[in-house]
């Protein structure tokens, strides 16, 4: 694809291992003396990519740029940066990879789209990566302005876990009053008893304490914490979950991407809330089955009605599994 110098989208399922798959193309570019840029809207993705690229290309200068980076800029053949940092470059890259193109603040931001266009050379190659394409990408594909290929199966060869939708009357009102339906509490208690770790996603910060209270009042003997984006103990709580010192976390959408807890299940409460976009729901479902030791698992959506976003999530997952079945 890099040799063809075109605009291309790789629609890859969550947990496909797409970063490592880039190495062959990056290696070709490096061997041909080309300059490579890898950008993401999210700082944590850039920070995670940096050591992996350094390890894979030990003899090639690699620089990491983001708003809080202390490393001074110097010319490097491989640059890893946030999409905002691309504003610093003009016709600099022969190859530019944009990871997670559906994510804020890149998605729907004309300034950052302009930055990408400006940073790559006029005859340069652009590769977009995502598990959840947005409307602008679908439009570009339909207008033949963007070619597309699919990576519909995970690195371990198993399909994406599909969602189970549980319609639940008065769920919103119950949560708002600090209660949960008996069937949900029973499910949580059973998972804890089975030592099956999991995440509970809620749409709003206020829901964290309410759901936590409902579980505590039900006398479920479990180790859990609540976490959200501005939580001062966010890093420590995620580390506790990663180290298997918690049975579950109750979380907002902050953990929908960029984090892997091997072997978990997922519960989404009020899945029909407008906070949960189709892309967010696909990413949340993608937390399950990422590890080859347990490549399957439960994805349970509890809602009052099956919203358009839930339907779209279901369709996207099933589409990729159909494509995977043809491989």
pLDDT in tens, 188-204: 999 999 999 999 999 99
Give the pLDDT confidence score for residue 3 in this predicted structure. 66
Residue 77 three-state SS: coil
Please count the other Cβ atoms lying within 10 Å of the Cβ belonging to residue 19. 18
The span from the CA of 182 to the CA of 211, in Å, is 13
Which has more confidence, 249 or 256?
Answer: 249
Give the pLDDT confidence score for residue 301 in this predicted structure. 98
CA angle 220, 300, 177 (to 5 degrees): 55
Give the pLDDT confidence score for residue 140 in this predicted structure. 85
Please give the span between the terminal C-alpha atoms of the chain, in angstroms, as a whole number: 20
Which has more confidence, 106 or 303?
Answer: 303
What mean pLDDT is reported for the chain? Answer: 92
Give the pLDDT confidence score for residue 1 in this predicted structure. 63
Report whether pLDDT(287) > 90. yes
**141-150, long-range: CB < 8 A, 24+ apart:** 141/9, 145/7, 146/7, 146/8, 146/9, 147/6, 147/7, 147/8, 147/9, 148/8, 148/9, 148/10, 148/11, 149/8, 149/9, 149/10, 149/11, 150/10, 150/11, 150/12, 150/320, 150/323
Which two three-digit tokens encode residue 34? Answer: 């080309």
Q: How many CA atoms lie within 13 A of 4 on its CB side?
A: 8
pLDDT, one tens digit per residue, over 83-96 is 999 999 999 999 99
In the chain the domains, ranked by start, together with CATH numbers, are 7-151 (3.40.50.300), 164-325 (3.40.50.300)
Check if the beta carbon of residue 36 is closer than 8 Å to that of residue 99.
no
Rg of the chain in Å (alpha carbons): 21
Give the pLDDT confidence score for residue 104 in this predicted structure. 81
pLDDT, one tens digit per residue, over 197-234 is 999 999 999 999 999 999 999 999 999 999 998 899 98
Check if the beta carbon of residue 300 is closer than 8 Å to that of residue 271.
no
Closest listed residue to residue 35, CA positions, set 69, 81, 68: 81
278-285 and 308-325 are packed helices; what angle lies between their axes, rounded to 10 degrees? 50
Which of 135-149, 203-217, 246-260 reaches the highest mean pLDDT? Answer: 203-217
The span from the CA of 290 to the CA of 261, in Å, is 8
The span from the CA of 268 to the CA of 235, in Å, is 22
Give the pLDDT confidence score for residue 43 in this predicted structure. 83
Give the pLDDT confidence score for residue 29 in this predicted structure. 94
* Mean pLDDT of all residues in 5-22: 85
Closest listed residue to residue 291, CA positions, set 153, 194, 154, 199: 154
Closest listed residue to residue 223, CA positions, set 212, 234, 233: 212
| Percent of the chain residues past pLDDT 70, beyond the cut | 99
* Mean pLDDT of all residues in 155-166: 95
pLDDT, one tens digit per residue, over 269-285 is 999 999 999 999 999 99
The span from the CA of 216 to the CA of 214, in Å, is 6
75: which DSSP letter? -
* Mean pLDDT of all residues in 167-195: 97
Give the pLDDT confidence score for residue 215 in this predicted structure. 97
pLDDT, one tens digit per residue, over 27-80 is 999 999 999 999 999 887 888 889 999 999 999 999 999 987 777 788 899 999
* Mean pLDDT of all residues in 118-147: 90
pLDDT interval class at 135 (50, 70, 90): confident
Report whether pLDDT(131) > 70. yes
């Amino acid at each position: 694809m890099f040799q063809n110098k075109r605009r291309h989208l790789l629609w890859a399922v969550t947990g496909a291992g797409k970063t490592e798959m880039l190495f062959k193309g990056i290696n070709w570019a490096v061997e041909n003396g080309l300059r490579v840029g890898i950008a993401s809207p999210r700082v944590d993705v850039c920070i995670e990519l940096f050591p992996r690229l350094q390890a894979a290309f030990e003899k090639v200068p690699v620089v990491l740029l983001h708003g809080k980076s202390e490393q001074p800029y110097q010319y490097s053949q491989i640059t890893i940066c946030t999409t905002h940092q691309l504003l610093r470059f003009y016709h600099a890259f022969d190859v530019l990879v944009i990871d997670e193109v559906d994510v804020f603040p890149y998605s729907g931001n004309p300034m950052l789209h302009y930055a990408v266009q400006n940073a790559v050379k006029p005859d340069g190659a652009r590769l977009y990566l995502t598990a959840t394409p947005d409307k602008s990408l679908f439009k570009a594909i339909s207008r033949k302005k963007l070619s597309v290929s699919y990576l519909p199966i995970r690195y371990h060869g198993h399909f994406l876990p599909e969602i189970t939708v549980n319609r639940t009357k008065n769920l919103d009102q119950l949560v708002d009053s600090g209660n949960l339906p008996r069937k949900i509490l029973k499910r949580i208690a059973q998972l804890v008893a089975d030592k099956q770790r999991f995440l509970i996603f809620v749409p709003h910060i206020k829901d964290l304490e309410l759901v936590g209270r409902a579980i505590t009042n039900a006398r479920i003997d479990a180790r859990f914490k609540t976490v959200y984006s501005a939580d001062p103990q966010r890093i420590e709580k995620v580390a506790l979950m990663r180290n298997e010192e918690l049975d579950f976390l109750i979380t907002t959408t902050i953990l929908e991407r960029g984090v892997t807890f091997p072997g978990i299940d997922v519960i989404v409460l009020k899945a029909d809330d407008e906070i949960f976009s189709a892309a967010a729901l696909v990413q949340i479902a993608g937390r399950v089955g990422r590890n080859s030791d347990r490549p399957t698992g439960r994805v349970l959506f509890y809602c009052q009605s099956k919203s358009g976003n839930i339907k779209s999530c279901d369709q996207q997952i099933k589409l990729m599994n159909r494509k995977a079945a043809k491989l």
